[in-house]
Amino acid sequence: MRATRQHFTDMKRRARIVPCAGKTVAAAVPLILQLGLCLFLTGCASTKIDWNSRIGNYTYDQAVIELGPPDKYAKLTDGTAVAEWMTRRGYSGGSVGFMYGYGYPYHAYPYPLYPPYYLAEPPSPDYFIRLTFGPEGKLQAYKRVVR
């Protein structure tokens, strides 16, 4: 009987509040989110090159220093030089998947009614910038090329 009385007495007492790490984590979450947002926005800030402003005062040597050696280069008979740099590589079409509804072995539909199908992504082209330099070595024109 004494154990039963002790049990009911303990049930009537208020639970002891234990300081937990949850409050510290909750206080740190806004700071972590703000830091993550700052890093995300900084990473998305890209420097777009204004090629129109470079026409007439940008040289081939400056282009090689900034972009590296060109992927293609041709010197014409009039002294004009045409060079191409790859700005973004495409992909070859990805992998071909053998699909059964929502993925093998989980079938979305009964297999005999809907046979499996192949899933393939089309290839993506490569992107280039073609710079044309006059005989004096200054940029005359630019063009974005997709192949």
Concatenated DSSP letters of 103-136: STT--SS-TTTS--EEE-PPP---EEEEEEE-TT
Q: Is residue 21 part of a domain?
A: yes
Cβ atoms of residues 69 and 63 within 8 Å: no
Q: Is residue 98 part of a domain?
A: no
Q: Is residue 81 part of a domain?
A: yes
Q: Is residue 71 part of a domain?
A: yes
Structure tokens at 95: 């992998």
pLDDT at 82: 98
**CATH assignment of the domain containing 141:** 3.30.1450.10
Cα–Cα separations (whole angstroms), residue 61 to 56, 68, 140: 14, 10, 14
Cα–Cα separations (whole angstroms), residue 90 to 102, 129, 143: 28, 14, 18
Q: Is residue 112 part of a domain?
A: no
- Structural domain of 13: 2-90+125-146
> What is the full per-residue pLDDT of the chain (147 aa) written as tens digits?
666 666 556 666 665 555 555 566 667 777 777 777 666 666 565 578 999 999 999 999 999 999 999 999 999 999 999 999 999 998 876 554 544 444 455 545 555 555 555 555 678 899 999 999 999 999 999 999 999
